[in-house]
Structures are given as C-alpha cells and as structure tokens.
C-alpha cells in the first residue's frame, strides 16, 4: 500500500516540538510577508544534524530575513560562530533588524556579510576560512558556480546541506516539459545534483522532504 505523503507529512509535523516563542513570531511575520524561509521539514533535518555534529563554524549562503541563521544559532554549541551571506537589499534591511533583535539571545554568534555570494565565498576561501557545516539556500541557478568555492571551505568530515533541490518535483521532468524561462535553472539543478552525488569527495543523500534537501558529507582526506 502506498503512503499518503501529505497525510504523513502533516502527522510528522504535528509531532514537532516547535520553535522558541521568538522564532515562532519571526516565522509568522515571514510567512505573512511571503518571504521564503526554511519549512518544518528542513528545520528538523538541520536541528538533527547540528545536534549530531556540534559544529564550531557554520556558513550560510542565503540569509533572507535571518530566520535560518537565528534558528541555527539556537541549536548550535555556545561557542559556534555563524557567517551568513545575503545580497538582496530588501532582504538585507529585514535581516539587519532581526539579527540585532534582543529577542534572540544567541544573535551574537552571527556575522552578516553583504554582497554577491560568489565574490564573498572566494574572499573567504582566499583567507583560508574553514567551516564544518554549510547551509546553501540561495540562487538555485548559481549552485554549480558556488560548489568549487564551497569545497575549498568545507572541512573533511564536514556537512553541506542544500535546500530546495527538487524544485517542486519538476527536477525529474524532461527539459522540454519545462517552460523556456525556467529551463536554465532546471538544467543547472540537475547538473548540481548529479555532481554532488558522483564526486569522490562526497557522500550525498537526497531527502524527498519539503522541497527536497541534499545532505552531503565530505569524506576524510
């Protein structure tokens, strides 16, 4: 018998222990403003991984309004430092405000870098920065361009989590069934998924939860 995915998802979501009051309020504000933030399924995966590996340095590509960075700050070790990158002016205005909000006791862990992600990633790599947990949730068409820099930044035995990789399920479709304006992103995501699942350096698991999450473990050198 096939599992009813929507009913199972709803049931699993009902078991979730929930957000802190301050994050719950920020989540409501973001949903009301139609800002894309990480969903319940992604929250659970990230919370589990952070609890498991206890990272000391986290890199996030795609801050949006700061929800996911603040979420990670609450579920990472006290001495963890989080660097998050955003370029969209409208998002940055909200992120700056939220990341200074005294409601969030762990906000001091977070450093916001403003500008084009690829340029900042290259700067971080050139400076010899290293991270044991990277969360990629930015412009989907740029993932392949980001990947070489992310590999320079990810330590052996580190984790790369990539969100929204299944593109509402359309990633499985032929490019000819995709509207012309979306074909480039469609092809680039398929290329990205093929690459991270076939790289010798990585062991990658693609989870069909939310809009699809890829969890990549960097094998020891």
Delineate the domains of the chain, giving CATH numbers in brackets: 5-218 (3.40.50.150)
Average pLDDT in the 149-158 region?
98
Is the pLDDT confidence value at 74 over 60? yes
- pLDDT score, position 179: 58
Going by pLDDT thresholds of 50, 70 and 90, the confidence category of residue 175 is low
Distance, CA of 196 to chain centre: 15
CA distance 56 to 79: 7
CB atoms within 10 A of CB 185: 18
In 33-161, alpha helices (H): 40-53, 67-74, 89-99, 117-126, 143-153
The pLDDT, as a whole number, for residue 1 is 45
What does the pLDDT average to over 87-113? Answer: 95
Instruction: Report the pLDDT averaged over residues 25-42.
Output: 91
Closest among 109, 72, 73, 117 to 91, alpha carbons compared: 117
Q: Provide the pLDDT confidence category of residue 199 given band limits of 50, 70 and 90.
A: very high
Report the distance separating Cα 166 and Cα 70, nearest Å. 25
Q: Looking at 82-91, 142-151, 161-170, which range is the least confident one?
A: 161-170
pLDDT at 20 over 90: yes
């Amino acid at each position: 018998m096939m599992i009813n995915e929507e009913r199972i998802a709803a049931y699993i979501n009902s078991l979730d222990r929930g957000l802190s009051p301050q994050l719950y309020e920020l989540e409501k504000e973001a949903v009301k403003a139609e800002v894309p933030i990480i969903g319940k399924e992604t929250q659970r995966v990230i919370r589990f991984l952070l609890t498991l590996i206890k990272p000391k340095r986290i890199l996030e590509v795609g801050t949006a309004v700061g929800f996911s960075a603040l979420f990670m700050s609450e579920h990472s070790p006290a001495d963890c430092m989080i660097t998050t990158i955003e370029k969209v002016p409208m998002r940055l205005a909200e992120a700056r405000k939220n990341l200074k909000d005294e409601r969030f006791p762990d906000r001091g862990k977070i450093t916001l870098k403003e500008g084009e992600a690829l340029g900042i990633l290259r700067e971080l790599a050139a400076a010899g920065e290293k991270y044991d947990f990277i969360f990629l949730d930015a412009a989907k068409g740029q993932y392949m361009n980001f990947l070489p820099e992310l590999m320079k930044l990810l330590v052996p035995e580190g984790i790369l989590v990539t969100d929204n990789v299944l593109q509402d399920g359309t990633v499985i479709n032929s490019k000819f069934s995709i509207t012309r304006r979306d074909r480039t992103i469609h092809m680039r995501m398929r290329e990205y998924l093929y690459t991270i699942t076939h790289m010798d350096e990585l062991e990658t698991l693609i989870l069909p939860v939310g809009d699809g999450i890829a969890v990549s473990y960097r094998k020891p050198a």
